[in-house]
Amino acid sequence: MSITNQETANIFMNSIIQDYNLNQFFEDQSSRISYIISRLLDSNDYLKSADLADEMYISRSQISNDIKLAKNMLSSYHLTLISKPYYGIKIIGKENDIRNYIIQEKLKIKNLVCDEITHSFSSHEHIDDINNIVIKILTHSHYIISDIALQNLILHIVTAVNRIKSGHLIHMDSLNISPVYAHVIEISKNILEKCADIYNFEFNDDEIFFLALNLYGKREFDKQEFITDEINNLVFLGLYKIKEIFGLDFTSNLNLRISLGLHILPLLTRINTNMQLRNIMTFNIKQKYTLAYDLASTFTNTIIPSDKKILDDEIAYVALHFVNYIDENSPQKKKRMLIISSLRRSETILLQNNILRNFPSIKEVKIISKNSLSTTNVNNYNVICTTENDIFINNNKIQKISYFLNDTDIKKIELLLDGFNGPKDILDCFSEDLFYYGDAPSKNAVIKWLYEMAYKQGLADEKLYHSIMNHENVTSTYFGNYLAIPHPEIFLSETSFISVAILPKPILWDDEYVDIVFLVSIQKNNPNAFKLWSYLSFLISNNTTLEEIKKEPTFQNLSKVISKIYEDLF
């Protein structure tokens, strides 16, 4: 087969992709609910549930259950699904809440399909035009936003265009626009005017103001901009809370305070206007930088109003600010590293610089030849590594790394800096008395069972249980890979421990499914105990290892898999 007209072929392929993306798998309840809500939002009138049931080839009783669940989902976005005898059902609510639902739930609406991984559009014929319009106007206006923020902004604008063309306009309750938004109103007006010229629709002033709020919430501020006393006080309040709970004092770190101050200016706007950013790296950040994520969760939930909810995706962005400062804030002294290598000095400069850049807690990296090892006092160094295979084989206390540091090398050095001596360091946190395999009815039931096992062993009390449940109300403890890690919001236990549940049937954990649960409690009043998160990160980010644990759900296999993964690492 050959293609004689590439443009026609592309159009044909795009139509196939669009049909595939819009296809619903009606044997799955979540797909049915998504279809019901999509159809209702597409329609400007009532739809009969019987007709929807026929469209999905399901029974009347089944669609009744689906509609009940749809009502619950919509209610969390301040939307209501109403019914009228002889007419059917309909969704009512504010237009900005409807758009927020479409974006946050990645809803498939006619002419608009958003990929749930990349948030890129697989079917919107003029997406490139909108993208070009926005970039051109922002560039001309010298308005700086990040690439991630730009993707989110495009998502909001395309959703707006789609809804406006269908006759749904924003009507804001109050037009009390703060003066800080005045400079973005003109930009927003220009964007909507250009889009309206292309797609032939009319918009009102409220649409301009709504886009201005959205745009302001995505702005990148720089250090020359003024941080108000109010923002500075919020940052200090959040950092002081971290000091109280974690014993880590960032309050005098000026660089961190500035970066957080510049970050939360648009963050608070996004939270107040229900325009929070999505983050495709959230699970990776949770898995790799668990402590930083916990710090960010404490920080953000301290500074935002109690009646507001911050998404895990936004917390993950804040966590990145803490990553580079955790080691600097460690109560331990800067460490020294020794590397034995046969490479010439000129060849080891890159390796030395890479290590110092990746590990702020390392004060000195000394590189010696094999011949100098016998005359070097290795006791003066906290970490000893080599690029030479023969030295690694002949000395089990010296770890091998590659000249070009890879992810495994970096993780290995992290564990060495934390004082990791081998698999026993992490295995000591597990116990057969803290292991459960079997079915569970719910998330809360699993947490209660895991807590009760620890309570029977004298490791936990009711205060710790309540702290765990409080933390669940603040942020999701789903870590990806069908794994959840509930843990207390403050450190309360006398010793670190991990309770484990393996579930043959996955249960719903917030909005995700889970079949393995680690309840983690870190020892109180011991800053060094934080290293447990570093130990765990290599395990919880490895989907293959977690699958091996579930294949043979016994404590003996759990111990064997954990031992093997860390023995292979070292």
Residue bearing the bigger pLDDT, 86 or 555: 555
Per-residue pLDDT, 430: 95
Nearest to 144 by CA among 47, 209, 225, 77: 225
CA distances to 9, 309, 348, 394, 541 from 280, rounded to whole Å, are: 32, 19, 36, 44, 15
Which pairing describes strands 497-509 and 435-437: parallel, antiparallel, or unpaired? parallel
Sheet containing 399-400: give its strands across. 362-368, 335-340, 383-386, 399-400
pLDDT band for position 173 (50/70/90)? low
Per-residue pLDDT, 20: 43
Nearest to 476 by CA among 311, 314, 322: 311
SS3 290: helix
Per-residue pLDDT, 294: 93
H-state helical runs in 402-530: 407-417, 424-427, 443-456, 462-474
% of the chain surpassing 90 pLDDT: 28
> What is the spatial distance between Cα 500 and Cα 519, in angstroms, rounded to a whole number?
6
Per-residue pLDDT, 392: 84
H-state helical runs in 86-180: 95-104, 127-140, 147-165
- Run of H or E residues at 106: none
CA 144 to chain centre: 23
Contacts of 155 (CB under 8 A, 6+ apart): 103, 114, 119, 121
**Does 2 score more than 70 pLDDT?**
no
Mean pLDDT, rounded, for 218-226:
57
Q: 481 and 459 in contact (C-beta within 8 Å)? A: no
Per-residue pLDDT, 115: 42
Least confident of 142-156, 175-189, 347-361, 550-564: 175-189
Which pairing describes strands 497-509 and 512-521: parallel, antiparallel, or unpaired? antiparallel
Per-residue pLDDT, 406: 84
- The CB density around residue 504, as the number of other CB atoms within 10 Å, is 11
Per-residue pLDDT, 23: 46
Mean pLDDT, rounded, for 139-168:
83
Maximum distance among all Cα pairs of the chain, rounded to whole angstroms: 93
Per-residue pLDDT, 460: 94
Per-residue pLDDT, 47: 92
Buried b (16+ CB within 10 A) or exposed e, 228-242: eeebeebbbebbebb
Beta bridge partners of 91: 81
User: What radius of gyration, in Å, describes the C-alpha atoms of the chain?
Assistant: 27
% of the chain surpassing 70 pLDDT: 86
**Does 420 score more than 80 pLDDT?**
no
SS3 509: strand
Nearest to 337 by CA among 318, 356, 324, 309: 356
Sheet containing 435-437: give its strands across. 435-437, 497-509, 512-521, 483-484
**Does 16 score more than 50 pLDDT?**
no
Most confident of 20-24, 174-178, 390-394: 390-394
- The CB density around residue 169, as the number of other CB atoms within 10 Å, is 16
Looking up tokens 């062993």 gives: 457
- 470-525 tens-digit pLDDT: 999 888 999 999 999 999 988 889 999 999 999 999 999 988 899 999 999 999 88
- Run of H or E residues at 494: none
CA distances to 13, 224, 488, 516 from 540, rounded to whole Å, are: 39, 40, 18, 10
3-state secondary structure 547-570: HHHHHCCCHHHHHHHHHHHHHHHC
Handedness of CA 545, 551, 553, 556 (dihedral sign): negative
Domains by residue range for the chain, with CATH: 24-93 (1.10.10.10), 121-216 (1.10.1790), 229-326 (1.10.1790.10), 335-417 (3.40.50.2300), 425-569 (3.40.930.10)
Residue bearing the bigger pLDDT, 249 or 17: 249
- 43-62 tens-digit pLDDT: 878 999 899 988 888 888 88
**Does 22 score more than 50 pLDDT?**
no
Phi, psi of 341 (to 5 degrees): -150, 145
SS3 47: strand
**Both structure tokens of 5:** 């007209």
> What is the spatial distance between Cα 175 and Cα 168, in angstroms, rounded to a whole number?
18
- 351-404 tens-digit pLDDT: 888 888 888 778 889 999 888 888 899 888 988 999 888 888 888 778 889 888
pLDDT band for position 118 (50/70/90)? very low
Contacts of 316 (CB under 8 A, 6+ apart): 279, 281, 282, 285, 286, 293, 296
Per-residue pLDDT, 117: 35
Looking up tokens 């404490």 gives: 298
Q: 271 and 216 in contact (C-beta within 8 Å)? A: no
**Both structure tokens of 261:** 């101050």
Contacts of 505 (CB under 8 A, 6+ apart): 439, 515
> What is the spatial distance between Cα 158 and Cα 565, in angstroms, rounded to a whole number?
46
SS3 363: strand
**Does 107 score more than 50 pLDDT?**
yes
> What is the spatial distance between Cα 112 and Cα 405, in angstroms, rounded to a whole number?
43
**Does 123 score more than 50 pLDDT?**
no
Contacts of 147 (CB under 8 A, 6+ apart): none
Q: How long a stretch of residues is the chain?
A: 570
- 431-457 tens-digit pLDDT: 999 999 999 999 999 999 999 999 999
Supply the mean pLDDT for the chain: 83
